[in-house]
Every structure is written in structure tokens, then in C-alpha cells.
């Protein structure tokens, strides 16, 4: 990588990096004489929206974000590993922006979205350690992802920075409400989307449309009934209104 000075240290083995026990939390990391750069992701496993990669310089507290467009998660792009290739490009770009140099330590999230990044670091002898990213950077990058979902129109008050099954179904229900216009925001390359969830979303959308049409028909029918009664018995209605006063 242009501008990168190799760090002359003994790299940990791949086994050690992937070992749960070898990972450290970014809340209380081990001591390091130089600068530390943290890298974390948000939205890479979520159903809806772009994904985001966050970078934090622990010396200055500076945080920058790079996005991974949702279109890269369609079936064709995902099969060609384009999300991971794009993430590698933006990691290189961000490290340059942060003036990554000799003596820096990178604490890298263990997520598989960084598979190509780890390969690149190993090939170019760029020092990094597997980490459980928590605290400031995690909150920031998850918050950036939630902000993105809000701009798409996802207004649920239950939408929070906490990833997982709850957030998945908030996003899924949002897609179901207007399926024809919102499927374009879905990471359709996830196998489970085509195999299961897409059909469920279509069914829920159609049921919702039928339900709304039935309610509208009921309201219109009731309004017509009241109107017809008023036409047939205008005097009695005026009398009832007068007596009620």
C-alpha cells in the first residue's frame, strides 16, 4: 500500500487472531506505545440499507465513516464478493486519510466482512489485532447506520443501536408495509431473503392492502347508509338534533 511503512514486529498467527480468547475489548485494550486505530462495521448483516465502516484514531478521538452501498449486496454482486472488495478499498482509503504509519496498531473487528482486509494486512505486513469493538466507535458507527435508516423513512421508535433479531424485524415489517417501493433498499443477496422472507413480505403487503380496502369499503358503505337515512327522514333528523340541544 502506498505510504505504508511496514511494522517490524512478529505477527500473530491467523489461528491466534481468530481465537475468541485472544481478542480484546476496545474498552480496555492492552497497552501500546504508539497510536491505535479501531475499525468496526454496522449494517453489514442487517436486512435493509447501506452498510458503514467506522474508523477511530484513539489519540485524537477522530472518527470517520465510509459507506457500502446496498446495491453491492444484491445476488450477483454478493456472489462476486463485491461488498468485501469494496470494504477493502475503503479501509485502504481511510488508513491513508488517518496517516497510518509505522508504530500504529489496528484493532480490527472480527466480522467476516473484513476477510479480504485481513488477507491484505497479512500480505503487506500491516500489524493488526482481532478485537471486540465496543464503546465509542461501536456507538458511533451503529448510530450512523440508524441515521441512514431514518433517512430512508424508517420511523419506528423501537429502532435502536442494538443490532440483532429485534432490529431485523423492525426493518422487515417496514419493508412489508410498502413492498413494491421498499424492496430496493433490501440486501437481496442474502440467501434467506429469496428462499423465505421475500414471499412472506409480499404476502403481508397484499394482506395489508386487502385489509385497508375492506376497511375503506366498510366506511364508505356506512357513510352512504347515514346519508340515505338523512334523505329519507330529514324532518325527524332535524327534530332529533333540535331536541338534543
Question: What's the start-to-end Cα distance of the chain, in Å?
Answer: 85
What does the pLDDT read at residue 1? Answer: 38
Please check the confidence at residue 3 and state whether its pLDDT lies above 50.
Answer: no
pLDDT tens per residue, range 99-116: 999 889 999 999 999 999
* pLDDT computed for residue 19 by the predictor: 46
Structure-block grid coordinates of residue 58: 484513539
Given this model, what pLDDT does residue 30 score?
Answer: 87
Its pTM stands at: 0.78
pLDDT at 89 over 90: yes
Q: How far apart are CA 10 and CA 125, in angstroms?
A: 9
Backbone angles phi, psi at 5, to 5 degrees: -100, 125
165-190 pLDDT per residue, tens: 999 999 999 999 999 999 999 999 99
| Mean pLDDT for the chain overall | 85
Q: Scan for cell 497510536, then name that residue.
A: 35
pLDDT above 90 (res 37): yes
Residue 4 has pLDDT above 50, yes or no: no
pLDDT-derived band at 17 (thresholds 50, 70, 90) equals very low
In degrees rounded to 5, what are phi and psi of residue 212? -65, -40
In the prediction, which pLDDT does 6 show? 31
pLDDT of residue 236: 55
Copy the grid coordinates of residue 22. Answer: 485472544
Residue 63 CB neighbour total at 10 angstroms: 15
In this predicted structure, the answer to whether residue 21 has a pLDDT above a threshold of 50 is no
Q: Return the CATH number of 14-175, one of 3.30.420, 3.30.70, 3.20.20, 3.90.1520.
A: 3.30.420
pLDDT tier at 234, thresholds 50, 70, 90: low
Domain boundaries, the chain: 14-175, 191-244
Amino acid at each position: 500500500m502506498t505510504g505504508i511503512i511496514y511494522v517490524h514486529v512478529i505477527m500473530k498467527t491467523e489461528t491466534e487472531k481468530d481465537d475468541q480468547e485472544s481478542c480484546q475489548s476496545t474498552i480496555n485494550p492492552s497497552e501500546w506505545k504508539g497510536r491505535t486505530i479501531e475499525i468496526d462495521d454496522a449494517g453489514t448483516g442487517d436486512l435493509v440499507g447501506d452498510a458503514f465502516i467506522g474508523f477511530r484514531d484513539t489519540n485524537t478521538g477522530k472518527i470517520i465513516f465510509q459507506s457500502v452501498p446496498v446495491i453491492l449486496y444484491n445476488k450477483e454482486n454478493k456472489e462476486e464478493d463485491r461488498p468485501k472488495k469494496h470494504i477493502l478499498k475503503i479501509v485502504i482509503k481511510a488508513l491513508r486519510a488517518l496517516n497510518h504509519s509505522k508504530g500504529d496498531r489496528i484493532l480490527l473487528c472480527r466480522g467476516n466482512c473484513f476477510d479480504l482486509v485481513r488477507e491484505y494486512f497479512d500480505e503487506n505486513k500491516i500489524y493488526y489485532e482481532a478485537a471486540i469493538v465496543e464503546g465509542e466507535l461501536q456507538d458511533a458507527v451503529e448510530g450512523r447506520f440508524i441515521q441512514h435508516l431514518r433517512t430512508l423513512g424508517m420511523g419506528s421508535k423501537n429502532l435502536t443501536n442494538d443490532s440483532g433479531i429485534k432490529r431485523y424485524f423492525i426493518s422487515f415489517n417496514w419493508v412489508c408495509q410498502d413492498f413494491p417501493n421498499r424492496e430496493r433498499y433490501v440486501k437481496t443477496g442474502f440467501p434467506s431473503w429469496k428462499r423465505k422472507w421475500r414471499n412472506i413480505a409480499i404476502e403481508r403487503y397484499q394482506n395489508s392492502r386487502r385489509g385497508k380496502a375492506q376497511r375503506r369499503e366498510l366506511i364508505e358503505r356506512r357513510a352512504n347508509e347515514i346519508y340515505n337515512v338523512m334523505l329519507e327522514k330529514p324532518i325527524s333528523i332535524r327534530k332529533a338534533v333540535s331536541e338534543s340541544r
